[in-house]
Amino acid sequence: MIAEGEVRRLIRAALEARERSYSPYSHYRVGAALLTGEGKLYTGCNIENAAFTPTVCAERVALFKAVSEGERQFAAIAVTGSPAGEMTRYSWPCGVCRQALREFCDPEGFWVIVAKSETEYGIRTLAVLLPESFGPEELAGTEQQRVTDEEKRR
Ligand SMILES: [Zn+2]
């Protein structure tokens, strides 16, 4: 389980990241804060695009920032999303983000926190949000898995 203080730290960082959301079309503002195995934080916000398909969720922005900096081990992510203004709802990660996280996170040990505030939040393991999932180990023994294992050791 993740410590209460760590949860609050993540939620604070996600709320701060939400301030940087670029969402001129949906006005749905999302921030995310991803915690590495070593306690480092990477944040992200949703970034929309006039052509729509290039739009990226806050969770994937945080994950890709971290992975591009060499991080491979993650403990938890906090997500704060709501229409512009006050936080009125919980924003669970979309299916694409759940799968993206699955690539690097142990489904049973990785925590997903959705929050309206530091004291109002929901928390689930990735395994609950993405049951019977497909991950890198499905390709065990293949050339792809050998490459993946080497990537993860870096
Ligand atoms: Zn998403």
Is residue 86 annotated as part of the catalytic site, yes or no? no
Query: Structurally, how many domains does the chain consist of?
Result: 1
Q: So what's the pLDDT on residue 1?
A: 86
Residue 125 lies in domain: 4-153
Distance from residue 151's CA to the centre of ligand 1 (Å): 24
Q: So what's the pLDDT on residue 136?
A: 95
Q: So what's the pLDDT on residue 140?
A: 86
Q: So what's the pLDDT on residue 147?
A: 66
For the chain, 154 residues long, give each residue's pLDDT as a single digit of tens. 899 999 999 999 999 999 999 999 999 999 999 999 999 999 999 999 999 999 999 999 999 999 999 999 999 999 999 999 999 999 999 999 999 999 999 999 999 999 999 999 999 999 999 999 999 999 987 766 666 667 776 6
Q: So what's the pLDDT on residue 151?
A: 72
Euclidean distance between CA atoms 106 and 97, whole angstroms: 14
Distance from residue 141's CA to the centre of ligand 1 (Å): 30
Q: Which residues contact 92 (CB under 8 A, 6 or more apart)?
A: 79, 112, 114, 122, 129
Distance from residue 99's CA to the centre of ligand 1 (Å): 9
Euclidean distance between CA atoms 107 and 128, whole angstroms: 8
- Domain of 137: which CATH number? 3.40.140.10
